[in-house]
Amino acid sequence: MNPCPCGEGFSSDKCRCTPTEKRTYFRKISGPFLDRFDMVLPVITNDYDTKKGESSSIIKERVCKNRNSFNKHINEVTISKNAMELLEGQLKNCHISMRGYERIRKVAKTICIMDGEDKVKATHMIEAMSYRNLDFLNEVILYD
Ligand SMILES: [Zn+2]
């Protein structure tokens, strides 16, 4: 979704919106609604050279393969004690909601499966938590 009415909110040189316009725009979206997203992170636009990256067909093949693997193994994946402590710490310190807790667990398991493993490590959990960064929204809204 766009961070502001013009859609360039993460690019300070391109965005034409005032801080008031950004706040008004974001207040239309409720916190419980945002909490339902598995991943929340800024996507910065740049002049990406498509010739250097993987082709769409290769990426599609990998996604399809992992989707099948994910559906088959998601309930078999366990979470290490260290990874669980990291996530529970976020919940105890009120950094995430119970819904967020479940979303992060699911994303961490997905990352684990994509790594070809069956036990979520702390690194998988940290990566999953990094994909749920609601703080940047406050920065865009409040500190522009
Ligand atoms: Zn804008």
**14-30: per-residue pLDDT in tens?**
888 888 888 888 778 77
Query: Does residue 95 register a pLDDT over 90?
Result: no
Least confident of 67-71, 73-77, 109-113, 116-120: 67-71
The rounded distance, in Å, linking the Cα atoms of 98 and 107 is: 14
- Give me ligand 1 centre to Cα 18, in Å: 7
The rounded distance, in Å, linking the Cα atoms of 124 and 108 is: 5
- Give me ligand 1 centre to Cα 24, in Å: 12
- Give me ligand 1 centre to Cα 98, in Å: 32
Which of the two residues, 8 and 126, has the higher pLDDT score?
126
Residue carrying structure tokens 């800024």:
42
Task: Provide the token pair at 16.
Answer: 């034409």
Identify the band that residue 143 occupies on the pLDDT scale cut at 50, 70 and 90: very low
The pTM is what? 0.74
Q: What is the pLDDT at residue 144?
A: 42
- Give me ligand 1 centre to Cα 46, in Å: 16
- Give me ligand 1 centre to Cα 137, in Å: 13
Q: Give, to the nearest 10 degrees, the angle between helix 56-73 and helix 98-114.
A: 110
DSSP per-residue codes, 75-127: TT-EE-HHHHHHHHHHHHTTSS-HHHHHHHHHHHHHHHHHTT-SEE-HHHHHH
Per-residue pLDDT, averaged over 82-103, amounts to 90
Q: Each residue of 41-69: pLDDT tens digit?
A: 777 666 666 667 778 898 888 888 777 77
- Give me ligand 1 centre to Cα 19, in Å: 9
- Give me ligand 1 centre to Cα 129, in Å: 27
- Give me ligand 1 centre to Cα 106, in Å: 32
